């Protein structure tokens, strides 16, 4: 076979749906491969692109047969960057997520890693068609050191408490055996490892990783964004040492590049990181672990809007790898797949060492005043209906009374986020030398500020949200665009100077703690307090070492931590996610509450969890309080059935945004008209999104529901192509809110600001 092919099909990192063709100059003939990054001339300037395929001139599209093609200028770098398997994955992503292939490839291999660092292993000869790492000598043979199985405990790589040998319990044994059997057979199965919090899932991941390495297979270990600063990453490092590369977007560019190339050369055989680590060039991939598979942070919010879990599953399918999806609270999609036999369902039903689950007590906030803690956000639900706020139901399916103890909030101060019961339990916990975690998924001090004289509410001028008062910095701030208002002395409406602050954020809880427990040392962990690199890890270490008694924070504190001295967990407002106008709101609430409840009582002493709630009878509160996944799952499945919400059917959003609201609406309506009557497709909307304006962009959406993914994909490609004048895609990389060339769909001639961006969001995790 003659490998010299004179024409290269190349994808550029811009919002072009179509690849371009270039001729292959003599000096590259025979050397150029699909997956090479190459330098190209484009409109008189140099640019870089990825080679998708090589072809003979007679296989070109007919309209190009007579055109004289420009030559590729050179390789950049010498090494092939994208393996054949990852090229396949990129093609699938481009199609499934309706994104330009060039932008997908730019996501797979970001510019910052594209060149080998100095001192990297020598360039690798790549045999076409062979997996990239096949020709690479292992940098280090995997050794299975006797006694190397250590519990994570609170030990860290830098030497904390001494690790102790660990004996798997029966459920862990069985889980490991099933996974290892599939690895050994290269069966390519997907396991849903559903284990209650504290059931020892991490140890199962680590043993499976061990087994893969022992067979010479590479491992991808994915954790949610939020878990990066936490213990699990350290445990992987402690166990597998220098075979591990950490790869994620929070690294400095140099570190990221180093990690990428350590994977590429085979020096690192385990790559651990957030979403984007799924693209790491690990050769001979045998195992992909996805911890907390239900986490919404696995979905990327910009083009390409891929889901990290689902894309990893596709990579595993292409490369024949085994997948372990782990969670205490699986997504409805994954659990449904397990029920349908698509995944193997593996259960860890008990906490390790027979430790009891934490006891949950509800504090009924309704007996207090209605001001304050966000009663407005409770109850009510998007289109799927079914949840009613308010009065205690008498019996009925929702009733949790009798199953979980309920305490009245009594004579509480409505401006105080801590009810007397919670404050008292905190005091007792600290008195016995234990630690506590407090959870409130809202940062800042108060979430709304209103002039008492004229009623003016401070809102963001660019977004359809109220500004949050940050007392520590003395500002009002928008949590979506960061718009900041410094002058809080007078009302812009009437000049008034008296303001009402309502709604709780973490800073307000912090202030309350210093009143109730002036001696307590409190760590506040939220977006504002962890912006500086390394601060989150430092806080975790400080809390671990007992330098504080209370860890207070947003969802950052809800997940993944294993602090054996925590015996009390308090949830300031358990209802917050429930009222979101999103069909996944209840799922999110259940997951968060279950996860946070799982933080208590992980050591020898049993734990207590307190949910402060206005909805003590709500079935989600009850299911989370009892840590009863099936109870939640079966009911939620039924509630989603009438409209065919996932997992029953497939769902996608077509997103329309622009600065001219009328143009946005026209474009959305036109698209609805186009798609109306498509066989197998149900349309909801068009409607404004719940966050109807962000950063000056008006936002509308059209929701598509279909029985099968193919109908959905085709409809989306048509919509996006119509919306962008023939090109699928989103904004050009690096240009916030910018538009791709040719993205002028919906523009009214002579009218500026009428441009509307049309994007697809397939399998959205947020409808907001």
Q: Which residues bind ligand ADP (CB under 6 A)?
A: 151-153, 166-169, 172, 195, 197-203, 352-353, 562
Instruction: Name which of 483 and 648 has its Cβ closer to Zn ion.
Output: 483
Interface segment toward Zn ion; rule CB under 5 A; list 243-251, 439-447, 472-480, 667-675: 472-480
Q: Does 184 bind Zn ion (CB under 5 A)?
A: no
Instruction: Name which of 205 and 504 has its Cβ closer to ligand ADP.
Output: 205
Q: DSSP H helical segments within 582-723, as ranges?
A: 585-597, 619-625, 629-640, 661-675, 709-723
Q: How far is the CB of 545 from Zn ion (least distance, A)?
A: 39
Q: How far is the CB of 593 from ligand ADP (least distance, A)?
A: 15
Instruction: Name which of 281 and 625 has its Cβ closer to ligand ADP.
Output: 625
Q: Does 485 bind Zn ion (CB under 5 A)?
A: no
Neighbouring C-beta atoms of residue 137, cutoff 10 Å: 11
Q: How far is the CB of 280 from ligand ADP (least distance, A)?
A: 23
- One DSSP character per residue, 195-216 reads E-TTS-HHHHHHHHHHHHHHTT
Instruction: Name which of 237 and 442 has its Cβ closer to ligand ADP.
Output: 237
198 binds, among ligand ADP, Zn ion, none (CB under 5 to 8 A by kind): ligand ADP
DSSP state for residue 36 in the 8-state scheme? -
116 binds, among ligand ADP, Zn ion, none (CB under 5 to 8 A by kind): none
Following CA atoms 582, 587, 589, 594 in sequence, which dihedral angle do they give, to the nearest 10 degrees?
-170
Interface segment toward Zn ion; rule CB under 5 A; list 240-248, 460-468, 484-492, 533-541: 460-468
Q: Does 244 bind Zn ion (CB under 5 A)?
A: no
- Judged by CB under 5 A, the residue of 287, 478, 597, 670 near Zn ion is 478
483 binds, among ligand ADP, Zn ion, none (CB under 5 to 8 A by kind): Zn ion
Q: Is 25 helix (H, G, I), strand (E, B) or coil?
A: coil
Instruction: Name which of 151 and 270 has its Cβ closer to ligand ADP.
Output: 151
Give which of 431, 511, 437 is closest to 469, Cα–Cα. 511
397 binds, among Zn ion, ligand ADP, none (CB under 5 to 8 A by kind): none
Instruction: Name which of 37 and 599 has its Cβ closer to ligand ADP.
Output: 599
| CB 317, CB 89: distance < 8 Å | no
197 binds, among Zn ion, ligand ADP, none (CB under 5 to 8 A by kind): ligand ADP
Q: How far is the CB of 328 from ligand ADP (least distance, A)?
A: 6
Give which of 300, 294, 307, 161 is closest to 234, Cα–Cα. 161
Residue position matching structure tokens 């209840």: 586
168 binds, among Zn ion, ligand ADP, none (CB under 5 to 8 A by kind): ligand ADP
| CB 602, CB 355: distance < 8 Å | yes
Phi, psi of 51 (to 5 degrees): -75, 125
Residue position matching structure tokens 């029966």: 170
Q: Does 459 bind Zn ion (CB under 5 A)?
A: no
730 binds, among Zn ion, ligand ADP, none (CB under 5 to 8 A by kind): none
Tokens at 470, concatenated: 């940050």
Instruction: Name which of 120 and 171 has its Cβ closer to ligand ADP.
Output: 171
Neighbouring C-beta atoms of residue 296, cutoff 10 Å: 18
| CB 742, CB 727: distance < 8 Å | yes
- Judged by CB under 5 A, the residue of 95, 359, 392, 462 near Zn ion is 462
Q: How far is the CB of 208 from ligand ADP (least distance, A)?
A: 13
Q: Does 480 bind Zn ion (CB under 5 A)?
A: yes
Q: How far is the CB of 691 from Zn ion (least distance, A)?
A: 10
Q: How far is the CB of 345 from ligand ADP (least distance, A)?
A: 16
Q: Is 480 helix (H, G, I), strand (E, B) or coil?
A: coil
Instruction: Name which of 482 and 535 has its Cβ closer to Zn ion.
Output: 482
Instruction: Name which of 456 and 605 has its Cβ closer to ligand ADP.
Output: 605
480 binds, among Zn ion, ligand ADP, none (CB under 5 to 8 A by kind): Zn ion
Alpha carbon 645 to its chain centroid, in Å, reads 20
Q: How far is the CB of 361 from ligand ADP (least distance, A)?
A: 22
Instruction: Name which of 22 and 205 has its Cβ closer to ligand ADP.
Output: 205
202 binds, among ligand ADP, Zn ion, none (CB under 5 to 8 A by kind): ligand ADP
What residues form DSSP beta bridges with 550? 436, 522
- How far apart are the C-alpha atoms of 651 and 646, rounded to whole Å? 7
Instruction: Name which of 169 and 530 has its Cβ closer to ligand ADP.
Output: 169
- How far apart are the C-alpha atoms of 100 and 90, rounded to whole Å? 10
Q: Does 476 bind Zn ion (CB under 5 A)?
A: no
153 binds, among Zn ion, ligand ADP, none (CB under 5 to 8 A by kind): ligand ADP
Instruction: Name which of 450 and 744 has its Cβ closer to Zn ion.
Output: 450
Q: How far is the CB of 154 from ligand ADP (least distance, A)?
A: 7
Instruction: Name which of 197 and 567 has its Cβ closer to ligand ADP.
Output: 197
| CB 667, CB 756: distance < 8 Å | yes
Instruction: Name which of 383 and 691 has its Cβ closer to Zn ion.
Output: 691
Give which of 615, 619, 656 is closest to 636, Cα–Cα. 619
Q: How far is the CB of 736 from Zn ion (least distance, A)?
A: 14
- Judged by CB under 5 A, the residue of 481, 511, 626, 684 near Zn ion is 481
Q: Does 460 bind Zn ion (CB under 5 A)?
A: yes
The per-residue b/e assignment along 468-481, b for 16 or more CB within 10 angstroms, e otherwise, is bbbeeeebbbbbeb
Q: How far is the CB of 396 from Zn ion (least distance, A)?
A: 41
Q: How far is the CB of 447 from ligand ADP (least distance, A)?
A: 31
- How far apart are the C-alpha atoms of 438 and 418, rounded to whole Å? 10
Instruction: Name which of 160 and 581 has its Cβ closer to ligand ADP.
Output: 160
Element (H, E) at 178: helix 170-184
How many residues would you count in the chain? 768
177 binds, among Zn ion, ligand ADP, none (CB under 5 to 8 A by kind): none
Q: How far is the CB of 460 from Zn ion (least distance, A)?
A: 3
51 binds, among Zn ion, ligand ADP, none (CB under 5 to 8 A by kind): none
SS3 content of the chain, % helix, strand, coil (to 5): 30, 20, 50
Interface segment toward Zn ion; rule CB under 5 A; list 8-16, 303-311, 458-466, 613-621: 458-466
- One DSSP character per residue, 217-267 reads -EEEEE--GGGGGSHHHHHHHHHHGGGEEE--TTS-HHHHHHHHHHHHTTS
Give which of 409, 501, 487 is closest to 448, Cα–Cα. 501
Residue 73 class from Cβ within 10 Å (0-12 exposed, 13-18 middle, 19+ buried)? middle
166 binds, among Zn ion, ligand ADP, none (CB under 5 to 8 A by kind): ligand ADP
Tokens at 577, concatenated: 């996610």
Q: How far is the CB of 698 from ligand ADP (least distance, A)?
A: 42
Q: How far is the CB of 567 from ligand ADP (least distance, A)?
A: 15
Residue 717 class from Cβ within 10 Å (0-12 exposed, 13-18 middle, 19+ buried)? middle
Residue 26 class from Cβ within 10 Å (0-12 exposed, 13-18 middle, 19+ buried)? exposed
Instruction: Name which of 65 and 301 has its Cβ closer to Zn ion.
Output: 301
Q: How far is the CB of 429 from ligand ADP (least distance, A)?
A: 20
Neighbouring C-beta atoms of residue 377, cutoff 10 Å: 19
| CB 426, CB 566: distance < 8 Å | no
| CB 490, CB 432: distance < 8 Å | no
Residues of the shown chain interacting with Zn ion in the complex, contacts defined by CB under 5 A: 460, 462-463, 478, 480-481, 483
């Amino acid at each position: 076979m003659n490998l010299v092919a004179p024409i290269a099909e190349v994808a550029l990192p811009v919002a072009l749906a179509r690849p371009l063709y270039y001729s292959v100059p003599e000096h590259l003939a025979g050397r150029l491969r699909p997956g090479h990054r190459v330098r190209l001339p484009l409109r008189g300037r140099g640019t870089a692109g990825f080679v998708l395929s090589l072809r003979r001139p007679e296989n070109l599209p007919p309209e190009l047969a007579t055109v004289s093609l420009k030559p590729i200028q050179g390789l950049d770098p010498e090494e092939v960057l994208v393996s054949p398997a990852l090229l396949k994955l990129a093609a699938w992503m481009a199609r499934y997520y309706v994104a330009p292939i060039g932008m997908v490839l730019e996501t797979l291999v970001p510019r910052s890693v594209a060149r080998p660092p100095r001192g990297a292993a020598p360039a690798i000869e790549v045999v076409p068609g062979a997996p990239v790492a096949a020709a690479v000598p292992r940098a280090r043979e995997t050794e299975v050191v006797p006694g190397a199985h250590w519990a994570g405990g609170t030990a860290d790589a830098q030497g904390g408490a001494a690790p102790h040998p660990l004996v798997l319990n029966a459920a862990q044994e069985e889980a490991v055996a099933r996974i290892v059997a599939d690895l050994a057979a290269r069966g390519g199965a997907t396991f849903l490892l559903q284990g209650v919090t504290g059931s020892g899932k991490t140890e199962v991941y680590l043993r499976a990783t061990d087994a893969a390495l022992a067979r010479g297979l590479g491992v991808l270990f994915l954790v949610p964004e939020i878990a990066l600063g936490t213990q699990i990453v350290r445990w992987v490092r402690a166990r597998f040492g220098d075979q591990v590369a950490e790869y994620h977007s929070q690294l400095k560019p140099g570190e990221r590049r180093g990690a990428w190339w350590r994977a590429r050369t085979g020096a690192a055989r385990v790559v651990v990181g957030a979403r984007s680590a799924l693209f790491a060039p690990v050769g001979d991939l045998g195992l992909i672990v996805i911890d907390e598979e239900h986490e919404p942070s696995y979905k990327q919010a910009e083009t390409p809007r891929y889901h990290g879990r689902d894309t990893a599953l596709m990579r595993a399918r292409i490369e024949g790898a085994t997948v372990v999806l782990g969670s205490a609270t699986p997504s409805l999609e994954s659990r449904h797949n397990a029920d349908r036999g698509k995944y193997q369902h593996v259960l860890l039903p008990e906490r390790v060492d027979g430790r009891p689950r934490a006891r949950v007590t509800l504090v009924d906030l309704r007996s207090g005043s209605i001001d304050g803690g966000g009663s407005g956000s409770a109850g009510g639900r998007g289109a799927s209906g079914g949840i009613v706020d308010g009065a205690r139901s008498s019996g009925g399916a929702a009733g949790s009374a009798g199953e979980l103890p309920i305490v009245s909030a009594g004579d509480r101060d409505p401006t105080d986020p801590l009810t007397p019961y919670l404050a008292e339990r905190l005091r007792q916990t600290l008195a016995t030398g234990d630690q506590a975690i407090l959870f409130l998924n809202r940062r800042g001090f108060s979430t709304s500020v209103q002039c008492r004289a004229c009623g003016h509410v401070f809102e963001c001028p660019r977004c359809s949200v109220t500004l949050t008062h940050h007392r520590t910095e003395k500002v009002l701030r928008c949590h979506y665009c960061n718009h900041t208002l410094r002058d809080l002395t007078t009302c812009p409406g009437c000049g008034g100077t008296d303001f009402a602050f309502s709604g709780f954020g973490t800073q307000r809880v912090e202030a309350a703690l210093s009143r109730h427990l002036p001696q307590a040392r409190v760590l506040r962990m939220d977006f504002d307090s962890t912006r500086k690199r390394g601060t989150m890890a430092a806080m975790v270490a400080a809390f671990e070492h007992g330098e504080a008694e209370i860890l207070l924070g947003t969802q950052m504190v809800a997940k993944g931590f294993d602090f054996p001295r925590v015996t009390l967990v308090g949830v300031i407002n358990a209802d917050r996610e429930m009222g979101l106008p999103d069909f996944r709101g209840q799922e999110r609430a259940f997951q968060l509450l279950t996860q946070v409840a799982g933080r208590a009582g992980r050591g020898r002493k049993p734990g207590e969890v307190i949910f402060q709630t206005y909805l003590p009878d709500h079935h989600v509160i009850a299911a989370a309080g009892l840590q009863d996944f099936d109870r939640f799952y079966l009911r939620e499945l039924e509630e989603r059935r009438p409209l065919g919400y996932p997992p029953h059917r497939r769902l996608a959003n077509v997103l329309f945004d622009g600065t001219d609201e009328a143009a946005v609406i026209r474009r959305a309506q036109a698209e609805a008209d186009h798609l109306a009557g498509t066989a197998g497709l149900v349309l909801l909307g068009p409607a404004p999104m719940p966050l109807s304006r962000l950063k000056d962009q008006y936002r509308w959406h059209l929701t598509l529901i279909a029985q099968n993914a193919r109908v959905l994909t085709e409809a989306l490609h048509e919509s996006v192509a119509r919306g962008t004048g023939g090109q699928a895609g989103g904004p050009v990389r690096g240009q916030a809110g910018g538009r791709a060339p040719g993205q002028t769909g919906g523009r009214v001639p002579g009218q500026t600001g009428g441009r509307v961006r049309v994007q697809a969001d397939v399998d959205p995790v947020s409808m907001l």
